Structure 1
Amino acid sequence: MKVIVCGAGRVGAQIARRLSQEGNEVTVIDQDPALVKRLSDADDVAGVVGHASHPDVLERAGAADAEMLIAATQMDEINMVACQVAHSVFSVPRKIARVRAQAYREDRWSDLFRREHMPIDVVISPEAEVARVALARLASTAAFESHGFLEGRAQLVALHLDSACAVLNTPLRQLTELFSTLQAIVVAVRRGDKLIVPEPTDQLYLGDDIYIVAASHDVQRAMGIFGRESPPARRVVIVGAGNVGLTVARALESDPLGVRVKMIERNQSRAEFAAERLSRTVVLNGDALDPALLDEAGVGEADAILSLTDDDKTNLLACALGKQSGCGLAIALTNDAVFSGLTGALGVDAYINPRATTVSTILRHVRRGRIRSVYSIGEGEGEAIEAQVLATSPIAGRRLREAGFPSGSIVGAVLSGGALRMPRGDMPIAEGDVLVAFCLRDQVPKVEQLFRVSVDYF
């Protein structure tokens, strides 16, 4: 597939790199020659220096025969115009744009991105994606990552194993025998710096990070088995009244269980802006690194603190102070991988990387075949993929053990005939089934091929 990526920043570069590694023909456009050179030198990616929305620049990038354009520059308007030009001048079939300004996302302007107006097939809002991830973390407070699949029927949750885990040093096969009614399976283990797909004979050890795919109704039970009780957060402190903080606060206000929310915002005018738009949230104006203000916000008695400002250092330190005060869960927004690596040392329970969430969302719309959802693990080390089996997919009509899933991949759940089932080797795979599979990065293309549409399908 020939793809044009507009923007060689963090998001654009990672998208271009990933698509290139998977065998796609990728060209990246950016106004900064250094960024273009760095990316084209390090990866099998062509580069064009110029303004991504200019027709002549898009022409040089090969838009005339491109199958997809992904606009991920820092400017919403450039992204939107690039998609418009790609459609009107070059008839590019599929166009994806990152749009950050919330004004474009309001319901009353919902017709803006219709084909006859601004022909963008998929609009990605990083703030909305980050808010969604933050809310998922609050629903499973013991998990440091969480993502829903199969329309909410299954979840991927990531847990850190400590001494409270009663099943350490137990082979996974034995766990299946001990908890035969549990609809959950360990699909990946991070031990030190290495991420692996475990075998049935593998054991779990103290300090491991594990990734589980579980039926939603069994998530809490599965977490309890691994020593991680996870009551939902009911008292929450949010640091930062930006778009992400406001989105999270609004969602929590609408929670039927009545979550109590307090928000801290350093900028007075922004604090007033937030207070006007929130009904039940108490908004405090001040510095979240001031222990006295954190005490006024009741962070010591809170179930969770979420620091969602645009400053990584503030987010990490506010979370560290919150944990020191006795807060149960601390989640920090971090854009820089260097700061993400400090979360453990500071006692921060989890971090959210906007770039990683945006990349995962974009990849969901890039995948071939019937790929319905993609969730990226770490810095793209592995992916959880939700995909539908078509009549002409190579795995249709085969039993799971004969389907050809490569080493370094595993099926975590199957939705068949409307029922969620845990995978077994003798399980038949039928047309219309939807599978959740986990695979390491180098196995992604092979797993995708198992769900591909044959030519005779058309």
Structure 2
Amino acid sequence: MKVIICGAGQVGWQIARHLSGERNDVTLIDNNPDLIRRATDTLDVQGITGFASYPDILRAAGAQDADMVIAATFSDEVNMVVCQIAHSIFEVPRKIARLRARSYLNAIYSDLYRRDHLPIDVVISPEREVAEAALQRLAAPAAFDTEYFLGGKAQLLGITLDADCPVLATPLRQLTDLFSTLQSIVVGIRRKGTLFAPEPGDQLFAGDQIYLFTDVADIVRTLEVFGKQTRKQERIIIVGGGNVGLSVARTLEKREHRVRVKMIERDRARAEYAADALERTIVLNGDGLDSELLQEANIDKADAVLTVTDDDKTNLLASVRAKSEGCPVSIALVNDPTLVPLLNPLDIDAYINPRATTVSSILRHIRHGRVRAVYSIGDAEAEVIEAQVLSTSPLAGQLVRDVGFPEGVLVAGLLKKGKVLRVSGGTRIEEGDVIVMFALSEDVPEVERLLQVSIDFF
């Protein structure tokens, strides 16, 4: 597949990294020569320095025979123009644009994105994706990472094991026997910085970060098995009144179960705007690092604090300050993946990586076959892929034990006739089933082969 990616920033670079690693023909366009140089030096991609919205630049990138254009520059308007030119001049079949401005995303203007108007096939909104990720973290405060699958019937949970976890030093095979009715499986373990797919004889140790795939009905019990307590989130404090914070507050206000929300925003004009836009949320104008302001917001009585300013270091420090003032759970927005190792020493419970959520959303729309969801784990270390099993797939009609999955791939779950199943070696995969697989990044191409993607693409 020939793909042109416009914008070589964090998101564009990661998408290029994924696609070039799967032997796709990838060309990156950016007007910053340093970003292009970094990409061509580290990835198997072609690079062009120039403005992506210029027709001659797109032609130089090979738009005339491209299968897809992904417009992920920092400008919404440039991304729109790229898609229009790719459609009108070069007839590129599929166009994806990242749009940030809320006005462009208003549902009443959804007819704008049609082939006879503004020909964008898929619109990706980072703020909307990040706000959804924040809400998922709040729903499972014991987890540092979460994502829903199978239409909301199953969930991926990332949790850190404490020294008092009751199942330490127990082989995973034995856990399966001990909790035979529990619809949960450990699909990934990160130990001493290395992520791997576990085998049945592997044991768990304190400090391990594990990824669990579980039926939503068993989430509470699963967390208890691994030594985590669950509690209702009734009082939330949001530090940062930007698009993400505003979107989270709006959603929390609409919930049937009453959630009391307070927001702290440093910029006075933005705080006034948020106060006007929200109905029940109390908006405080001030610095989220101010101990007196946090006390005024009753931080010690809050169930969780969510720090979502546009500065990573502020988010980390505000989370630390909130915990020191008595808040039991802190969740921070972190753009820079190199800061993630600091979360444990700083006692920050969970984080949201906007790049990972945006990359996951884009991958969901460019994966081959009947792929319904893709979630990128860590710094593109692994993916959790949900897909419908096609009749042409080598998986169809096979027992799990007979498929011959790579070592870095685990079947996390299977949706059969509307019911989520816990998979064993004797489970038969049939046409029409929806399968969820955990795959280390180097094994993703093999997963796509197993899904027999090319026949069903476009």
Is 1:55 matched up with 2:48? no
- The match for 2:268 is 268
1:4-46 Cα shifts (integer Å, max 9, x gaps): 0001111111111111011111000011112112211211100
AA in 1 matched with 2:214: A
Deviation at 1:427, TM superposition (A): 1.2
Aligned mates of 2:123, 2:454 — CA distance in 1:
29
- The match for 1:395 is 395
- The match for 2:10 is 10
Deviation at 1:457, TM superposition (A): 10
- The match for 1:140 is 140
Aligned mates of 2:439, 2:204 — CA distance in 1:
19
Deviates more, 1:333-342 or 1:281-290: 333-342
AA in 2 matched with 1:206: A
The answer on whether the counterparts of 2:387 and 2:435 sit within 8 Å (CA) in structure 1 is yes
Aligned mates of 1:224, 1:410 — CA distance in 2:
23
Aligned-residue CA RMSD in angstroms? Answer: 1.3
Deviation at 1:345, TM superposition (A): 1.9
Deviation at 1:117, TM superposition (A): 0.8
Query: Alignment identity in percent?
Result: 58
- The match for 1:285 is 285
The answer on whether the counterparts of 2:368 and 2:454 sit within 8 Å (CA) in structure 1 is no
The answer on whether the counterparts of 1:197 and 1:440 sit within 8 Å (CA) in structure 2 is yes
Deviation at 1:312, TM superposition (A): 1.1
Deviation at 1:455, TM superposition (A): 4.4
The answer on whether the counterparts of 1:187 and 1:410 sit within 8 Å (CA) in structure 2 is yes
Aligned mates of 2:56, 2:21 — CA distance in 1:
27
Deviates more, 1:247-256 or 1:448-457: 448-457
The answer on whether the counterparts of 1:393 and 1:454 sit within 8 Å (CA) in structure 2 is no
Mapping of residues 351-390 of structure 1, within 5 Å = 351-390=351-390
- The match for 1:432 is 432
- The match for 1:347 is 347
Q: Name the TM-score, length of structure 2 as normaliser.
A: 0.98
Deviation at 1:340, TM superposition (A): 2.5
- The match for 2:101 is 101
1:265-299 Cα shifts (integer Å, max 9, x gaps): 11111111001111110000111111000001111
Tell me: CA distance 1:308–1:79, structure 2 relative to 1, closer, same or farther (3 Å).
Answer: same
1:111-130 Cα shifts (integer Å, max 9, x gaps): 11122111111111100010
The answer on whether the counterparts of 2:11 and 2:359 sit within 8 Å (CA) in structure 1 is yes
- The match for 1:195 is 195
The answer on whether the counterparts of 2:182 and 2:222 sit within 8 Å (CA) in structure 1 is yes
Deviation at 1:184, TM superposition (A): 0.3
1:151-174 Cα shifts (integer Å, max 9, x gaps): 000000011000231010001111
- The match for 1:176 is 176
The answer on whether the counterparts of 2:368 and 2:456 sit within 8 Å (CA) in structure 1 is no
Tell me: CA distance 1:457–1:408, structure 2 relative to 1, closer, same or farther (3 Å).
Answer: closer
- The match for 1:326 is 326
Deviation at 1:383, TM superposition (A): 0.7
AA in 2 matched with 1:145: D
Aligned mates of 2:410, 2:336 — CA distance in 1:
30
Aligned mates of 1:54, 1:457 — CA distance in 2:
29
Is 1:452 matched up with 2:440? no
Aligned residue-pair number:
458
Deviation at 1:339, TM superposition (A): 2.6
Mapping of residues 31-42 of structure 1, within 5 Å = 31-42=31-42
- The match for 2:71 is 71
The answer on whether the counterparts of 1:240 and 1:266 sit within 8 Å (CA) in structure 2 is yes
Tell me: CA distance 1:24–1:167, structure 2 relative to 1, closer, same or farther (3 Å).
Answer: same
SS for the counterpart of 2:250 is helix
- The match for 1:416 is 416
1:399-452 Cα shifts (integer Å, max 9, x gaps): 111123211110011001111111111111111000111011100000111112
AA in 1 matched with 2:145: E
Deviation at 1:454, TM superposition (A): 6.2
SS for the counterpart of 2:429 is coil
- The match for 1:83 is 83
The answer on whether the counterparts of 2:156 and 2:214 sit within 8 Å (CA) in structure 1 is yes
Aligned mates of 1:358, 1:4 — CA distance in 2:
17
- The match for 1:92 is 92
1:42-77 Cα shifts (integer Å, max 9, x gaps): 111001111101111100000011001100000010
- The match for 2:126 is 126
Deviation at 1:301, TM superposition (A): 1.1
Segments of structure 2 that go 5 or more residues without pairing to the other structure are none
AA in 1 matched with 2:452: R
Aligned mates of 1:297, 1:56 — CA distance in 2:
55
1:95-151 Cα shifts (integer Å, max 9, x gaps): 111101111011221211122111111111100010000000111110000000000
AA in 2 matched with 1:213: F
Aligned mates of 2:97, 2:232 — CA distance in 1:
34
Deviation at 1:375, TM superposition (A): 0.6
The answer on whether the counterparts of 1:140 and 1:232 sit within 8 Å (CA) in structure 2 is no
Aligned mates of 1:122, 1:245 — CA distance in 2:
24
Aligned mates of 1:456, 1:275 — CA distance in 2:
48
Deviation at 1:367, TM superposition (A): 0.6
The answer on whether the counterparts of 1:159 and 1:210 sit within 8 Å (CA) in structure 2 is yes
Deviates more, 1:147-156 or 1:40-49: 40-49
Deviation at 1:257, TM superposition (A): 0.9
The answer on whether the counterparts of 1:138 and 1:232 sit within 8 Å (CA) in structure 2 is no
The answer on whether the counterparts of 1:371 and 1:387 sit within 8 Å (CA) in structure 2 is yes
- The match for 1:244 is 244
- The match for 1:25 is 25
Tell me: CA distance 1:249–1:457, structure 2 relative to 1, closer, same or farther (3 Å).
Answer: closer
Aligned mates of 1:265, 1:42 — CA distance in 2:
39
The answer on whether the counterparts of 1:164 and 1:226 sit within 8 Å (CA) in structure 2 is no
- The match for 1:296 is 296
Aligned mates of 2:341, 2:454 — CA distance in 1:
43
SS for the counterpart of 2:11 is helix
Aligned mates of 1:187, 1:335 — CA distance in 2:
25
Is 1:117 matched up with 2:89? no
The answer on whether the counterparts of 1:183 and 1:214 sit within 8 Å (CA) in structure 2 is yes
Aligned mates of 2:261, 2:228 — CA distance in 1:
24
SS for the counterpart of 2:228 is coil
AA in 2 matched with 1:411: V
Deviation at 1:453, TM superposition (A): 4.0
Segments of structure 1 that go 5 or more residues without pairing to the other structure are none
SS for the counterpart of 2:185 is strand
Deviates more, 1:112-121 or 1:178-187: 112-121
AA in 1 matched with 2:423: P
